[in-house]
Structure 1
Amino acid sequence: MSAYAQEQAMVYKITSPLTGVVKTVYVKAGQVVKKGDLLLEYDASLINSTLAAAQAKINMEAFNKSEAKKELGRAEELYDRTVLSEYDLQQAKLLYRKAVSQYASAKNELVYAQWDEAHRKLYATFSGTVTAVFSYPGQYVNNQFSAQSLLLIEAK
């Protein structure tokens, strides 16, 4: 009995979860790439704008949270001295909870923006040969509902 093994090449679709505009494609079909090679880069302008807006929002919401906490402290003090009604105290508590929630939401937006910034460059995660390039500079890639294939790479 003889043993026969045929090595089959695996071809992988390369995608990115980002939605944005392709700035540069660094590879072409037939090119050999090594793990860690830069394959593609998204334009940073929108990503940087989103990051700056998220940072500004978190700063504003931190200030609003701080002010709401101070107002709650004043309301509790006035309530304890029977100068403020139960209703007004509850309103101050509600405003503070809302400010805390908005701050948490702003923190999440910042995390998403930072993640986008960190992943705007697409690197090869394995060595292989680029078999097809579906991306070009200026292309808008919309991955909101499903990931769009950007490249095909045959693994070595």
Structure 2
Amino acid sequence: MKKVLLGLFIVVFLGLSGWLGYYFYKKSNTDPVVYKTEAPFETEIVKKTVATGSIVPRKEVQVKSQVSGIVEELYVEAGQIVKKGQLLAKIRIVPNMVSVNDAQTQLQTAKLNFDEAKQELKRYEQLYAQKVIAEQEFRKYKADYNLKREALQAAENNLQLVREGASRRSGVSSNQVYSTIDGMLLDVPVKVGTSIIERNNFNEGTTIAAVADMRSLVFEGKIDESEVGKLKENMDLLLTIGAIEGRVFNAKLEYIAPKGLLEEGAIKFPIRAKVLLDDKDFIRAGYSANADIVLDKRAKVLAIKESMLKFEKDQPYVEVETAPQQFEKRNVKTGISDGINIEIVSGLSKNDKVKVPDATIAQL
């Protein structure tokens, strides 16, 4: 038994000796770790934030009808350029029978009053011609006749307005819809035969057309509360529109909301910027866009990759090569960053070589 245990011990000892010998052999033949270094460089650093939003016309109006009825004619379609006062549509009025009945009753009453005033004036004209009554009394009956005549005409016009939406006396037709501004028709949401509701104090009415001035566009977006304090009016914006590839449009910030809105658990502030377009540029309303807002900009500054920085108790530092593959810690003062490169205000020079963390050079 003792011989068996001794044999096992010798076998285990020899195995361990062989493994240790192989381990130290491999370790002695392993290449030393060589860390990669980079030198600081001069560059331009732009610090910016991004706001998301859309492109909309500065001036857009909803054209509505003054009367209820059915669309009888449409003279335009979306995309057309229209002028202020241009006829857009004609409405066929469906008269309210109660209103028509009231208007007819008023007309009949006005006719009776007018006929009576006419007979009275005729009688008093004869008496005045015979010098039976004074001129003052005659004028009173003549004025009454004129008033009753005007009341009759008003009743006739009122009945015509109720029935047709227009009166011969005024020459204005309320059943015709006109553009209120110069611009482009963005949308004509109704079709011929569509029933519509008039605009009044209790109802905003049916929209006949949406007209906008497409020569004056603005970017409307929202920015996080952590960035809004850095914004000022007249700051430059760079707009990237998803539907227009390869183009960046300039804009000028003109409005920052004084009150934020709660959106998805964060406070965001609406902003508005004027889009600066060339005469040949055309952007459709409603395009989504991202606005890069330049917060700060430095040209020809000494910088390193931000990933090369290390921190110790909020103090940034880097490891600088003092001899081949020998490094020392050196505190630095930083400036602005664009998320990739960071400005080095002091602590480094162009000739320094900075250790790149977790980056080594493979040895052949």
Normalising by the residue count of structure 1, what TM-score does the alignment of the two structures yield?
0.55
C-alpha change, 1:135 and 1:63, in structure 2 (3 Å) is same
Calculate percent identity across the aligned residue pairs.
23
Number of the residue aligned with 2:113 = 65
1:21–1:139 CA contact under 8 A, matched in 2: yes
Alignment partner of 1:127 out of 175, 182, 188 = 182
C-alpha change, 1:45 and 1:17, in structure 2 (3 Å) is closer
Match of 2:207, SS state, is coil
C-alpha change, 1:16 and 1:45, in structure 2 (3 Å) is closer
Cα displacement string for residues 103-131 of structure 1 (whole angstroms, at most 9, x for unaligned residues) = x7x94684374382121111222210000
Alignment partner of 1:114 out of 123, 140, 161 = 161
Number of the residue aligned with 1:17 = 66
Alignment partner of 1:150 out of 208, 217, 224 = 208
* 1:55-94 pair list within 5 angstroms: 58=107, 60-65=108-113
1:21–1:138 CA contact under 8 A, matched in 2: yes
Q: Stretches of 4+ moved more than 6 A in 1?
A: none
Q: Distance in 1 between matches of 2:159 and 2:115?
A: 26
Count of matched residue positions in the alignment of Structure 1 and Structure 2? 118
Q: Which amino acid aligns with 2:61?
A: Y
Q: Distance in 1 between matches of 2:114 and 2:94?
A: 32
1:30–1:131 CA contact under 8 A, matched in 2: yes
C-alpha change, 1:9 and 1:21, in structure 2 (3 Å) is same
Alignment partner of 1:27 out of 64, 76, 80 = 76
Structure with max Cα Rg: 2
Is 1:139 matched with 2:194? yes
Comparing both structures, which one devotes a greater share of its residues to helix? Answer: 1
Q: Distance in 1 between matches of 2:155 and 2:111?
A: 17
RMSD, aligned α-carbons: 4.2
Gaps of 5+ in 2: 1-55, 118-150, 167-172, 216-364
Q: Which amino acid aligns with 1:131?
A: L
1:55–1:110 CA contact under 8 A, matched in 2: no
Q: Distance in 2 between matches of 1:129 and 1:112?
A: 37
Number of the residue aligned with 1:37 = 86
Q: Distance in 1 between matches of 2:57 and 2:192?
A: 32
2:57–2:212 CA contact under 8 A, matched in 1: no
Q: Distance in 2 between matches of 1:62 and 1:107?
A: 9
C-alpha change, 1:29 and 1:63, in structure 2 (3 Å) is closer
Q: Which amino acid aligns with 1:62?
A: A
Number of the residue aligned with 1:83 = none
